[in-house]
Amino acid sequence: MITVLSGGTGTPKLLQGLKEIVDPKDLTIIVNTLENNYFSGVYVSADIDTVLYTMSDMINDEFWYGVKDDTFITHDRLEELGCPELLRIGDIDRATKIQKTQLMEKYGLAKACEIQARNMGIESKIIPMSEEDSEIKIVTDIGELEFHDFLIKHQSEPEVLDVKFSNVNPAEGVVDAIRNSDAVIIGPSNPITSILPILSLEGVRDALKDTYVIAVSPIIGSGAVSGPANKFMKALDIDVSAVGVASLYNDFLDNIVIDDKDVNLKSQIKQIVNKVTVTNTIMNNLGVKKNLAQIIVDSIP
Ligand code: GDP
């Protein structure tokens, strides 16, 4: 059994490779819920939906958001009616979100995800990190912003001074999944807003100490492959490099995969993490995704 900790862009790319080389039944994916909120009358759990669409081969993997070849009839009509949406939600994607909202209000988020995963023919277990909503604020040079306002309205442009989020309780099954796994993979997701929220859940860091954990660095050189991870790390005084990523996970990490371009950092990281694996981590095609997944799986003791 392998458990993967995931956000909504980098790790789903790795999941595309992983699901080709391991039996999806042997995968549990614990997904970040920090950004979850209501938009346009529906509950949006963007990272969970990205993982659902990735595992059911529906993902729009140009944007890592929404369904490929979706239409935007409802979105466009809302705009015509003078009710523009902050998030551009496609029609098929909206159906998923409407159903999730209804299921969640009745059974809670974890059960809603379980039902939707089953309906989509997904054999892996997909668990939200928490049933509770988090409070998140991005403190910037233009004031405190809601996460989606920072990302979408302000296009991640303001200077980030701090990232603050509230602690929530783990959903049922999160800590047990880690404890009962042969390995935990921390995918290349935003360390601050996708992975730290999962690591902050009660019992998670301790469970990780007792399990083989391998992480893939989302930082290559001194920048993120995409998104604002570098700004968030800088704001929290964490070195924006694979070294900084390793230092965030050093109390439980057994192996870190860094990119070929960072081979010069290997000896420095070796002082923090037992094993450092160097390979191509830029997952721009299925071959690279499968190769990276295979290296990770082969490393499991
Ligand atoms: P979000 O939920 O959309 O913020 O997405 P994630 O947290 O899953 O992922 C964002 C992180 O993935 C960024 O820090 C990127 O640097 C990283 N990332 C995206 N694609 C790749 C890739 O192909 N390789 C590596 N190493 N990192 C990647």
Render pLDDT for 32-79 as a digit per residue (tens, 0 to 9).
Answer: 999 999 999 999 999 999 999 999 999 999 999 999 999 999 999 999
Q: What ligand 1 atom has the least distance to the C-alpha of 195?
A: 7
Mean pLDDT, the chain, rounded, equals 97
Nearest CA, atom 19, ligand 1: 10
Contact 174, 214 (CB under 8 A): no
Q: Give residue 6's Cα distance to chain centre.
A: 3
pLDDT of residue 252: 98
**Domain map of the chain by residue range?**
2-36+109-133+167-298
Ligand 1 pocket, mutate which of 11, 225, 257, 291 (most atoms under 8 A from CB)? 225
Cα of 217 from ligand 1 centre, angstroms: 9
pLDDT band, residue 255 (cuts 50/70/90): very high
Cα distance between residue 216 and residue 288, in whole Å? 13
Tens digits of residue pLDDT in 167-199: 999 999 999 999 999 999 999 999 999 999 999
pLDDT of residue 221: 96
Contact 249, 215 (CB under 8 A): yes
Give the closest residue to 159 by CA, choosing from 178, 139, 177, 131: 139
pLDDT band, residue 142 (cuts 50/70/90): very high
Q: What ligand 1 atom has the least distance to the C-alpha of 217?
A: 26
pLDDT of residue 164: 96
Helix (H) or strand (E) holding 296: helix 286-298
The CATH classification number of 2-36+109-133+167-298 equals 3.40.50.10680
Q: What ligand 1 atom has the least distance to the C-alpha of 65?
A: 3
Tens digits of residue pLDDT in 98-121: 999 999 999 999 999 999 999 999
